[in-house]
Amino acid sequence: MKRFFARNAPAYVFLLPWLIGFFLLALGPILASLYLSFTRYDMVSAPRWIGWGNYEYMFTRDRRFWKALEVTFTYVALAVPARLIMALGVAMLLDKGLRTIGLYRAIFYLPSLLGASIAIAILWRQLFAADGVVNQVLAMVGIQGASWITDPDTSLYTLVVLAMWQFGSPMLIFLAGLRGIPRDLYEAAEIDGTPGWRQFTRITLPLLAPVIFFNLVLQTIDSFKTFSSAFIISNGTGAPADSLLFYTVYLFNEAFKFFRMGYASALAWFLLVIIATFTAIAFFTSKYWVHYENERD
């Protein structure tokens, strides 16, 4: 016991702010929302216990719930790979050893800082409006652009592009990962005359696997929780025609527009299950494709 403390005390001291925050601020609401998910609660009168009623309605009768899942899954399936490929690509370019790398790193990271902000979402709406910048540029080269944001067929893709543009934080992690790959491996490959793309598939990717895995999990969780950009661009409703009805936007509307806190809590808990499932799948399959350098098998 004494040894445990001697060894771990510093860690717990560092964890303390988070632990205090978690127990004081987060745990209570989390448990409350679990309870509320089994009730009907309009925020004014007291919650009424209805057992599995909310979950039953969700799966059997709520068409918009399925629509929200469809939108969110499509988004995650497109945005996560797009962002990771973009991040890895840029990281590899920067890894070539530019002298002003610090500056470039900062510049490329900038969109990630701005991307979650309301201002960028509004800007995005302007860019992709029927008479926005994107269409004006397209018109210059003779292409008649679509009405990207107001057309349910294309609105989701504008958000995927937005997600792609926010590649900053996975890029930094990739960059750190790339730096960790021993140079002599490439030198050896160079001497053997291995072409560049084979160096990439045989050296870079396998050695980067832990980092890719880390980024994949983080970005997947992040994408499932996408809210502010979709909320702003769709005017808070998931419009046009529910094509931007992200799960979180639907949840927000159920809770704060239609006063169905109980149902919204149920939705929130199901989102937790979805994210947990995907994370679990990622961890479970990781042993087949992620190898750590210090592992000996």
Partner 1 sequence: MTKLTRRALLGTMGATAAAAALPAMPAFAADRTIRHYWWGNPERDKRTFAVIDTFQKKNVGIAVSGETIGWGDYWTKMATQTAGRNMADLVQMDYRFLFEYVNRGALKPLDEFVGKSLMIADFDKGPLDGGKVDGKLYALNIGSNSQVMVHNTRAFQEAGIDADLINWTWDDFAKACEKITAKSGGKMKGSDDLSLMIETFESWVRQNGREFYSPDGKVTATAGDVTSWWQMWADLRKAGVVRDKNKTVILDPPIAESGIAVGDTAMSHYWSNQLVGIQAVAKDKIGAAMVPHKAGGKPGQFIKPSMFLSLSRDAKDTAAAIAYMNAWVNDPEITGILGLERGIPCSPKIRAALAPKLTEVEKLSVDYFTAIQSKVGPLPVPAPKGAGEVRDAFMRIGTDVVLGKVEVAKAASTFIEDAQAIIERAQ
Shortest Å, Cβ 223 to partner 1? 24
The set of residues, in sequence order, having a beta carbon less than 8 Å from that of 132 and lying 6+ positions away, is: 126, 148
Based on the number of CB atoms within 10 Å of its own CB, is 62 exposed (0-12), middle (13-18) or buried (19 or more)? middle
- At its nearest, how many Å lie between partner 1 and the CB of residue 72? 17
| Identity of the residue, 174 or 246, whose beta carbon is nearer to partner 1 in the bound complex | 246
Q: Residue 48 in 3-state DSSP?
A: strand
Q: How far is Cα 211 from Cα 181, in angstroms, rounded to an integer?
A: 11
The first and second tokens of residue 253, run together, are 């509307």
The Cα angle at residue 279 between residues 277 and 285, in degrees rounded to 5: 100
Residue type, 155: S
Which one of 87, 212, 261, 275 is in contact with partner 1 (CB under 8 A)? 261
Examine residue 236 and tell whether it contacts partner 1 (CB under 8 A).
yes
Closest among 127, 80, 134, 117 to 232, alpha carbons compared: 117
Mark the segment that binds partner 1 (CB under 8 A) among 144-152, 177-185, 186-194, 269-277.
144-152
CB 175 within 8 A of CB 169: no
Indicate which single residue of 15, 27, 101, 241 sits in contact with partner 1 (rule: CB under 8 A): 241
Residues 60-79 that bind partner 1 (CB under 8 A): 61
Q: Position 58: which residue type?
A: M
Per CB under 8 A, 33 contacts partner 1: no
| Chain center to CA of 75 | 10
CB-nearer residue toward partner 1: 237 or 279? 237
Q: Which one of 53, 74, 151, 189 is in contact with partner 1 (CB under 8 A)? A: 151
Running DSSP on this structure, what letter comes out for residue 22?
A: I
Q: Give the residue, chosen from 42, 56, 187, 293, that forms a contact with partner 1 under the rule CB under 8 A.
A: 42
Note whether 100 binds partner 1 by CB under 8 A: no
Radius of gyration of the chain (CA): 23
Decide: 59 and 66 in contact? Cβ < 8 Å: no
Q: Pick from 26, 77, 107, 130: which binds partner 1 (CB under 8 A)?
A: 130
Asked if residue 213 binds partner 1 (CB under 8 A), the reply is: no
For partner 1, the binding residue among 116, 259, 272, 291 (CB under 8 A) is 259
Regarding 47 and contact with partner 1 (CB under 8 A), the answer is no
Residues 178-207: x where in contact with partner 1 by CB under 8 A, - otherwise, as a string: ------------------------------
Contact between residue 90 and residue 171 where contact means Cβ atoms under 8 Å apart: yes
Catalog residues that contact partner 1 under the rule CB under 8 A.
Answer: 42-45, 61, 130, 147, 150-152, 235-242, 255-259, 261
